[in-house]
Structure 1
Amino acid sequence: MGQLLVVRHGQASFGADDYDVLSPTGEEQARVLGAALADLAPDLVVHGSLVRQRRTAELLAAAAGWDVRLREDPRWNELEDLAQFAAVSGSPDGLDRDGFQQWYDAAMARWTGGEHDHDYSEPFVGFRDRANAALADVADEGTVVAVSSGGPIAAIASVLLAGDATTYGRLLPGIVNAGITRVISGRRGLTLLSFNEHQHLPPELRTYR
């Protein structure tokens, strides 16, 4: 039986010139996660090609004391949502926090709705399927830790729960940085064992973006 731990990267640098780097909080989250998983002996650590994902994988592996190979697979990457959404829903530049959230929620609903797939470089169904394909491809490699992002994690969990785009939308906002989603692989296929574990993080390290 295989065990797959899909973890979200540490907090990125939201609002900075380069979002795709871990914040100091994100680096600490990765180290705390590694310490919490020190008793695990993974056969593989896989991560997306984004800087925040790769750096999280490096920090947690070092903190855990693992001598394990790291593999990059861009299928674990987050959706490039803002660029796609802005191309069809207008730019969110200049909006305040509430205005941005309203814009984002409407753009997300349009993307997941399935009626405008031709407007997007990566429609929702394609995004969902590539995340689940990445999971399936490591299901038989023993104990695997995959460092990804909120979107792929929500896509994987919603499929394993036999959910739909609505399920995806409900799962996504609550995924914690450096949280753990556990999947087991056995004779019955892939089964979601737990979603978004974050008890290893003290309250001051629990962040959502």
Structure 2
Amino acid sequence: MPRLLLIRHGQASFGADDYDALSELGHEQARTLGRSFVARGVRPGLLLRGTMRRHAETAAGLLDGLGTALAEIVDEGWNEFDFQHVVEIHRPLFRDRTAMMAEIGRFERPDRAFQQIFEEATLRWSSGRFDSQYAESFAAFRARVAAVLDRARALLAEHREIVAVSSGGPIAMAAALLTVGDSAGTAPLWSALNRVTVNTGVTKVISGSRGLSLSTYNEHTHLEDRPALLTYR
């Protein structure tokens, strides 16, 4: 059965000048996933990815681990939503990166402090009550992911197994859409799924006569024997 494997990027560089670059750990996560695919006999025929640096670097590490080259299609539909913009609308102070780092730096775990603010900001964004304030509303984001899934399904007719390197937001949205569809339940399910996405976690989508179906979400057995590689941010 044709299948689409959605891969969240490796760990990015939280707190660095360029968040979009993978950390050293992120590069190793990507290579580890590629090696695990070889061990499991996963042989994709095509690689899709977003336009972000973390997508490109994760794809490169994955191919390094696979020990092969693949044809690639770069599609901005797989890009993450602009979470910095969403956070800044919620907390205007965070338009100043120095001020943001100073505020969350007061906490013992700055990453957890930012995560709490991030969840508050995305709850506001996904409510649909403030759409005019955002460059891309939650509804527009949902439609973008639905469209890129349709494009991937069309490609599965030729390539029976495809990997797509993306981000937590689009992958969680894909899973929500394939579970509850475009309904009132999409936003809360998306939020719950997005919260637990693992770096280089793999979500399997299968294609059949009824269209695409979610098979597994956020699988990360390739990291379980090396706990230091398990990250969420």
Tell me the TM-score normalized by structure 1.
0.94
SS, match of residue 49 in structure 1: coil
Alignment correspondent of 2:129? 115
Shift of 1:71: 1.4
Alignment correspondent of 1:49? 51
CA contact 1:41–1:66 (8 Å) conserved in 2 = no
CA contact 1:30–1:59 (8 Å) conserved in 2 = yes
Equivalent-residue separation in structure 2 for 1:177 and 1:103 (angstroms): 20
User: Where in structure 1 are there 5+ consecutive unaligned residues?
Assistant: none
Alignment correspondent of 1:78? 80
> Which stretch shifts more, 103-112 or 68-77?
103-112
Shift of 1:88: 4.9
CA contact 2:86–2:122 (8 Å) conserved in 1 = no
Equivalent-residue separation in structure 2 for 1:72 and 1:101 (angstroms): 29
CA contact 2:78–2:148 (8 Å) conserved in 1 = yes
Alignment correspondent of 1:150? 168
> 1:53-132 alignment to 2 at 5 Å?
53-92=55-94, 93=100, 94-96=102-104, 97=110, 99-132=113-146
Equivalent-residue separation in structure 2 for 1:12 and 1:188 (angstroms): 36
Shift of 1:67: 3.0
Equivalent-residue separation in structure 2 for 1:151 and 1:74 (angstroms): 13
SS, match of residue 214 in structure 2: strand
Shift of 1:33: 0.3
Alignment correspondent of 2:5? 5
Alignment correspondent of 1:32? 32
The alignment yields a C-alpha RMSD, in angstroms, of 1.4
Letter in 1 for 2:26: G
Alignment correspondent of 1:198? 220
Count of matched residue positions in the alignment of Structure 1 and Structure 2: 209
Q: Does 1:176 align with 2:201?
A: no
1:4-24 deviations in Å (ceiling 9; x for gaps): 000000001111111111100
Equivalent-residue separation in structure 2 for 1:84 and 1:191 (angstroms): 30
Letter in 2 for 1:206: L
Alignment correspondent of 2:151? 137
Equivalent-residue separation in structure 2 for 1:207 and 1:85 (angstroms): 21
SS, match of residue 41 in structure 1: coil
Letter in 1 for 2:195: P
1:72-127 deviations in Å (ceiling 9; x for gaps): 11110111111233135422313223653443222111100011111111011111
Equivalent-residue separation in structure 2 for 1:59 and 1:36 (angstroms): 12
Equivalent-residue separation in structure 2 for 1:143 and 1:207 (angstroms): 26
SS, match of residue 15 in structure 1: coil
> Which stretch shifts more, 105-114 or 83-92?
83-92
Shift of 1:43: 1.7
2:188 alignment partner, one of 166, 191, 203: 166
Shift of 1:128: 1.6
> Which stretch shifts more, 11-20 or 127-136?
127-136
Shift of 1:133: 1.4
Letter in 1 for 2:214: L
User: Where in structure 2 are there 5+ consecutive unaligned residues?
Assistant: 95-99, 105-109
1:151-191 deviations in Å (ceiling 9; x for gaps): 00110011111041000111111100011000001101110
CA contact 1:45–1:145 (8 Å) conserved in 2 = yes
Letter in 2 for 1:156: A
